[in-house]
Chain A
């Protein structure tokens, strides 16, 4: 997030796009609801589903899945056409306006409404006017923007809109991606990415490499070639390039697109090591399984969606012989010739600080009593609540020309329905934790799909009936929940449930810039289960 959670009360309006906030980031969802319902702030919701926040929205735009860029361009078009944008901000802080404005000319409300499947084009005009009239507006997005072949462009359109409105670098504004895991921000910050060291320092720049060699020891050579992403590495297994995978605390069999492809790849490996807390679907395929501490059994830091670094404490004693993940990694490294001697997580953090400018001023001692958000370069630096305050990291903010492009897999007569996937309130990711938590599993213990009443009646499906969903990758059986949360022609399915794994169905078409898979949309067909057995057609 460019801005901070505690600024929610300072926003005059909100645009929630591609985020089912009240289910996936419920505490932030409630804070936004409080502003909208109890304090009269304005809310625009853009989503393919009638999510809970849509109920309280001043304007709700139920778009076709995969058309975010069109609608964001539509808002920008209206702001420019009606002269409602922040000219001072655009002139002083940004560049590339003319080019973008030209590209936006064709994104008229009518053109956009047609792409997005919105009945009333004027709603787009109203939304744009609302943003201009109720500043600062805070834009919140989540995987509903990013998990597309055009994910990077979706983010750029969000940035375009907020720069146009001058909502960057000010309290209560910002482009605010909601990170989906408690330390996904930190894992990225720490360089658990194929192309960068900690703090997003590129592996291809010689100076960076030298800096890390100096700290890590010259006995090791560091590669300057960017590595593989998760999805690319699984493809690499099938081509024979990747022979061993070491997985720490992930369950790709359930979380990654195109499950049968994932399983095929993992089975083909010469050697698979899985380090986890329970026997996951992925661990079952491993050659060696290493038992690791759960979050309440170890110390360390995590970084949240607003770049706030927080301390985790050891609350309970770990069972059996389990060890902290860092200790396991250190022991393997030392057998392989390293000479690491970390006594605690704090020891490791001290090394991170020295290599990572944005974490340079953060210490465990400070975290005990201070709220610190990176960048925090020095120990006397208070941390950074708002990014891009006086200048962008590149100097001027760059408006990007972003064109709407359709998703990879269109519907056709054989696969006439759209499938979109996501999370639900009570469960998390692959269910390793929530499905092993008694109360959460009791509240919701089985998979389902959401299907519109019209589709249900077309296919003669009743509520709660088990049906079959198939795509070009595979097929699962799951119960139907008939609801008008979805529009006709699209079904929604949560991906937490191994026995009805949504990712058996999804595909791994990827964004060319950042390799995010298009998990949010693919073509599918639905069938009654009794028809599959050949009883009727």
Chain B
């Protein structure tokens, strides 16, 4: 913390090399921004984070802090400029919140609301850009909702490190592209979904989200991914009916917000109709539904019988690397104490 400067009349300390925006955000001062994301390197594309530094206009996401500077983040002039920027972004695309999966969870929508931005004039010229809703199993892309912020390009390059997204074309013809102008489904995208998670609008979305519940109705709770040993922390969203809607990487986990395709999309088995719902007992080679009492009594009596007639070592249990610590603990306690054998193992070697 070796640099001191003023933001909106308040003395702030920051590290050399830090941007004004980052220093402001760390000090609880919110400057509007769309292309900037804390996980990505700064882009300086949207200009919404514009501030006055000693009276000069600067994009605060790319402008480094300097000793003694005087930064103004809000005044009438800056507000007007931001409003105009937002109007241009709206005019350029086709942003209809009525049928957008991001409605209620859209950074562009939030700022437009905050700055009272009116719908764009109907006669402005528009480039109709690519809509690719079906080529990929997991990800949809509607570039008419894209504001060319570049977060997806950077997410792919700096977090997943696959370099699938990039910009093609110039000026008003600039647009997003995956690999060499391929559709996402035909590109080298492996569908980790990090670009979707960081998209500030509805340009990129998951296949399974639209129609499953308005964003403000969804409930969020975090747990740990069930697959590999990285132990990614995931925010799971459920709708009013209690159905799982989407999985988003949580920043506090070892994954720092990132997920792979399994963590992202591999949760619907939980609510699939293939789930077992009652105990089953095999009679004459066929499974029949049973009550818990019937099933557990049978298990306990059979285990007891084998323990008595043969020996405790005639029983074996496979615990599971898919179960919790508590469950594995209890399984070995059961085998070691109630049964009386050390015949307990799990798939650690497989």
Contact = CB atoms under 8 A, between A and B. Distances in A.
Contacts of B277: 291, 319-322
B229 A324 contact: no
Interface in A332-385: 332-333, 335-338, 342, 345, 348-349, 351-352
B332 A38 contact: no
Q: With a 10 A CB-CB cut-off, give which of B260, B331, B350 has the most chain A CB atoms.
A: B350
B322 A306 contact: no
B287 A289 contact: yes
Contact of A437 (B157, B231, B266, B287): B266
A89 interface: no
B17 interface: no
A37 B261 CA distance: 21
Given A26-B261, A187-B319, A336-B338, A303 B343 contact: no
Interface stretch (B7-15, B27-35, B87-95, B298-306): B298-306
Given A192-B344, A246-B303, A434-B269, 14 more contacts: A27-B230, A182-B231, A182-B321, A197-B332, A230-B350, A233-B345, A271-B306, A277-B275, A296-B236, A301-B326, A311-B224, A315-B223, A434-B262, A437-B269
B140 to A, nearest CB: 12
Contacts of B44: none
Contacts of B261: 26, 425-426, 440, 443
Given A187-B346, A291-B277, A273 B299 contact: yes
Contacts of B191: 439, 443
A255 B337 contact: no
Contact of B281 (A25, A287, A332, A433): A287
B253 interface: yes
Contacts of B292: 321, 323, 331
Interface in A224-248: 225-231, 233, 236, 241-248
A493 B53 CA distance: 61
Contact of B328 (A187, A222, A278): A187
Closest 3 CB pairs of A and B: A320-B277, A304-B231, A300-B324
A312 B225 CA distance: 9
Chain A, interface size category, equals: 35 or more
14 contacts: A27-B260, A242-B314, A245-B315, A278-B269, A278-B274, A279-B274, A310-B231, A313-B222, A320-B275, A329-B327, A329-B330, A348-B326, A439-B207, A517-B350
B190 interface: yes
A182 B350 CA distance: 14
A2 interface: no
A206 interface: no
A352 B231 contact: no
Contacts of B327: 248, 300, 324-326, 329
Q: With a 10 A CB-CB cut-off, give which of A147, A182, A217, A305 has the most chain B CB atoms.
A: A182
B58 interface: no
Given A203-B342, A313-B223, A433 B350 contact: no
Nearest to B229: A179
Chain B, interface size category, equals: 35 or more
B340 A316 contact: no
A38 B314 CA distance: 56
B322 A338 contact: no
Contacts of B229: 25, 178-182, 184-185, 304-305
A530 interface: no
Interface string B50-68: 0000000000000000000
Given A27-B230, A335-B300, A184 B319 contact: no
Interface of A: 5-6, 24-28, 30, 33-34, 37-38, 146-147, 178-195, 197-198, 203, 212, 216-217, 220-223, 225-231, 233, 236, 241-250, 252, 255-256, 270-271, 273, 276-279, 283, 286-292, 294-306, 308-317, 319-326, 328-333, 335-338, 342, 345, 348-349, 351-352, 425-429, 432-434, 436-440, 442-443, 514-517, 519
Contacts of B322: 181-183, 249-250, 295
Nearest to B309: A243
Contacts of B306: 243-244, 270-271
A102 to B, nearest CB: 32
B73 interface: no
Contacts of A351: 329
Contacts of A181: 227-229, 321-322, 347
Given A185-B229, A310-B253, A316-B244, A245 B317 contact: yes
Interface string B183-206: 000000011100000000000000
A303 B324 CA distance: 8
B271 interface: yes
Contacts of B274: 278-279, 436
A433 B329 contact: no
Contact of B319 (A233, A248, A277): A248
